[in-house]
Structures are given as C-alpha cells and as structure tokens.
C-alpha cells in the first residue's frame, strides 16, 4: 500500500529530522567534551606569549580546558538532551532541556569564536536553536497545556499579611549568611584536600 504524502506528513517528517539533527550534534559535541577533545590549547607555545597578544578564542578554550568538571557536566547534559529529544514520550522535555544549553553555547561562540572562525559557529548554533524552537512550536498544543498546568493555581499553602513580603528580601540575605556559616567546615575540607 503506497504511503499518502500530504503537507501534514511532510511537516511531521521535517520535525522528526530536526530532532535527529539536534541529537546528532548534541551527542557529537557532548562526547567531544567528555573525552577532552573540545577544549584546551593544543599549541603549548601559545601559552608562552603575553596574554594581550593571544586571541580571546585561545584564552577561553584554554580556561575551559583547565577544569574537566565543566566539560563533563555540559557534555553529559548535551547527551541527555539528545536522548530525550529522540524518544517520542520525552521530546518536549528534551527540547526544553536543550534550549538553554544551546543558547549558552551560542553566547560562548559569539563571544569567543568569531575572531578565528567568523560567524560559522554562531550561525550553526542559531540554526540549532531555531530547530529546537520549531519542534516546540510543532507541539504547541501540548506546550500550552503544560504551561497552564505549571502556572495555574500555584501559590503558597498559607496566606500571609502584606508586610511579611517586605521582610522576605532581608530573610533571603540572612539565609545566605546562615548557609555560608554552616558550609564553612565543608569549604575548609575542600581547601585542605585540593
């Protein structure tokens, strides 16, 4: 039996293609970060130059490569988002999960890669962000339901007097102060270990 090709099927297939497009690049870039291939300066002579004579791309990539934590966390998040976006049940979660990751990488590329690579990387990232937004738009009926669910009837469990809300910024600051004091032994331990 021949497959009936209509506009709805074509749009659905394009969205499916966008999902796999994002998954491919997120796995590729994510894995590159995890195994240490994406960041770092591969020319040791570059580090012997005065800082002001080194392009900001090389400085940024060197700094990103100094600590593996950033690479592993961001790379893992990219891979998790890729897996989520290809599974039908989690496509919306994956698209929402990847959006801030893509935007952060887009900002990094605009800030640090344009002097070496021109606009190639930011344009690629803009395309990925557009693909992600188109996926979310395609499922807009579900997104509207999710938005209504998470934004309606959410309030505190109890009613408070208006003046209590004037105290909250002060209490927030004091909470940060208390957490600083309580975390002091942990910071001492890590300073000792590191």
165 shares a domain with 146: no
Burial of 57 from C-beta contacts in 10 A (0-12 / 13-18 / 19+): middle
Would 1 be classed as within a structural domain?
no
pLDDT at residue 2 greater than cutoff 80: no
130 shares a domain with 187: no
**Domain extent at residue 194:** 160-194
Number of domains the chain is built from: 2
Would 2 be classed as within a structural domain?
no
Average pLDDT, the chain: 88
Q: What is the pLDDT of residues 134-173, one digit of tens each?
A: 999 999 999 898 888 888 877 788 888 888 888 899 998 8
Instruction: Give me the pLDDT at residue 162, please.
Output: 87
Instruction: Give me the pLDDT at residue 43, please.
Output: 73
Would 97 be classed as within a structural domain?
yes
Q: Which residues of 148-159 are buried (b: 16+ CB within 10 A; e: fewer)?
A: eeeeeeeeeeee
164 shares a domain with 178: yes
pLDDT at residue 24 greater than cutoff 80: yes
184 shares a domain with 137: no
Residue 92 contacts residue 143 (beta carbons within 8 Å): yes
131 shares a domain with 38: yes
Would 136 be classed as within a structural domain?
yes
pLDDT at residue 41 greater than cutoff 80: no
87 shares a domain with 32: yes
Which alpha helices (H) appear in the chain, and where do they start and end? Answer: 7-34, 56-66, 68-86, 91-112, 114-117, 120-138, 140-151, 164-193
pLDDT at residue 4 greater than cutoff 90: no
114 shares a domain with 67: yes
136 shares a domain with 45: yes
Pick the residue with more confidence: 131 or 61? 131
Q: What is the pLDDT of residues 96-111, one digit of tens each?
A: 999 999 999 999 889 8
168 shares a domain with 127: no
Would 17 be classed as within a structural domain?
yes
Instruction: Give me the pLDDT at residue 21, please.
Output: 96
Q: What is the pTM of this model?
A: 0.78
Instruction: Give me the pLDDT at residue 1, please.
Output: 67
Would 53 be classed as within a structural domain?
yes
């Amino acid at each position: 039996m021949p497959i009936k090709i209509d506009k709805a099927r074509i749009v659905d297939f394009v969205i499916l293609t966008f999902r796999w497009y994002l998954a491919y690049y997120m796995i590729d870039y994510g894995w590159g970060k995890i195994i240490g291939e994406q960041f770092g300066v591969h020319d040791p002579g570059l580090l012997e130059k005065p800082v002001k004579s080194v392009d900001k791309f090389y400085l940024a990539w060197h700094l990103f490569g100094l600590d593996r934590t950033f690479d592993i966390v961001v790379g893992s998040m990219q891979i998790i988002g890729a897996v989520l976006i290809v599974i039908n049940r989690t496509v919306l979660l994956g698209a929402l999960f990847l959006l801030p990751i893509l935007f952060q990488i887009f900002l990094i590329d605009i800030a640090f890669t344009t002097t070496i690579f021109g606009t190639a990387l930011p344009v690629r990232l803009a395309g990925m962000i557009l693909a992600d937004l188109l996926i979310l738009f395609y499922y807009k009926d579900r997104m509207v339901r999710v938005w209504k669910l998470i934004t309606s009837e959410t309030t505190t469990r109890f009613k408070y007097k208006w003046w209590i809300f004037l105290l909250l910024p002060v209490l927030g600051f004091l909470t940060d102060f208390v957490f600083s004091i309580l975390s002091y032994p942990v910071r001492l331990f890590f300073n000792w270990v590191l």
